[in-house]
Amino acid sequence: MTSEQPNSLPLSGIRVVEFAHMVMGPTCGLVLADLGAEVIKVEPVAGDNTRRLLGSGAGFFPLFNRNKKSIALDLRHPQGLEVALRLVATADVVSENFKPGTMKKLGLDHASLARLNERLVYVSHKGFLPGPYEHRTALDEVVQMMGGMAYMTGRPGDPLRAGASVNDIMGGMFGAIGAMAALMQRGRTGRGQEVKAALFENNVFLVAQHMMQFAVTGQPAAPMPGRISAWAVYDVFTVREGEQIFLAAVSDTQWKAFCEAFGFGDLQADPRLATNNDRVQAREWMMPVLRSRLAGHSAAELSAVFERNGLPFAPITRPEDLFDDPHLRATGGLADLTLPDGRQTAAPLLPITLGGERPGVRSQPPALGEHGAQLLAELGYSRTEIAAMVSANVTVAS
């Protein structure tokens, strides 16, 4: 979906000023922007460092900054700070993800801004919520290690971070949820408030299911690769020509359908395999039998049989393969996106529909300071004043 009008979206009319970089804060802004808010990204005059990342960070800026405007300001310069304060005075939401104390030094912390605008919703994205750890510098990988995620993801004795920035992204999502909740409350009370989201607490929420498993059973959760599965058939199989596919049969009904689909009448009749729990106990000898019997099939053949019988299955897919995923293509889950160097690609949209439509890309990731002159003029600065600020390197005119 790329053609919706901004005023048709639920957050139309909401202005967000974003002091954020990397992933967590920009994810919050992305969610609010995709839902219709006007999100103004305040960047340093050298640009958000995320614009220049290599390797695993090369896609951060174009992914998390669509549907936003950019203004570049030197917040250490009195005039740059003045512009920021004028901009904030027009905002419904301020979002930031800098180290604790940074915004206070600039006079852009919640307490300072709330005195200027009691209706302001202020969202802080941090490593930790207030407490003994709040002074620490956190990264997604740091909190995965200290929060049980890496332990659960890796093999026993080999902690491994998850294969995506799960805490940064989900932490930003919780920041957006908090912002929307605070805006709803403001509608009743007329007052804004501070919202805080944090990487560590987000990670703890993600592993809470394993904490509760221990609380209920008294048994520590084993790392996922070494766990005792709750389901008998729930694994990756290597099949013809070395292809891999995930196959599952997680109920007695599915086991029956699985055996009938492949003609495994002997296994279906085996009393040692009568129930799911029986099959879990029999995995040590049962799984080698299944692996041997399925090894001669191709992944495509197995996919067809499982899909025809309503059984869970999944090809083992690489991220780059998703650009050509027929479901994403057919359902509008990917939208055209222009990279900073001008090349065309596609990007995943928010995983929701509103009225049957996916909120789409209304504007491309902005060039540095692309909207600066326009925004400065709206704030009352003259062309002469804007030119002087550009000459003094207080701002950038794209």
Q: Phi/psi of residue 347, each to 5°?
A: -140, 145
Q: Is 94 helix (H, G, I), strand (E, B) or coil?
A: strand
| 86 close to 20: Cβ distance less than 8 angstroms | no
Q: Which positions ≥6 away from 323 have C-beta within 8 Å?
A: 334, 345, 346
Out of 109, 168, 252, 336, pick the active-site residue.
Answer: 168
Among 246, 158, 155, 150, smallest CA distance to 206 is for 150
CA distance 87 to 378: 9
CA distance 194 to 102: 16
The per-type count for the chain, helices as H runs and strands as E runs, is 18, 11
Any catalytic annotation for residue 168?
yes
Q: What angle do CA 47, 50, 55 make, to 5 degrees?
A: 140
CA distance readout (Å), 18 to 32, 65, 257, 303, 318: 11, 11, 53, 45, 32
**Residue 167 DSSP class:** H
The two beta strands, 313-315 and 121-126, are unpaired
The two beta strands, 194-198 and 121-126, are parallel
- At 141, the amino acid letter reads E
- At 373, the amino acid letter reads A
Residues designated as active site: 168
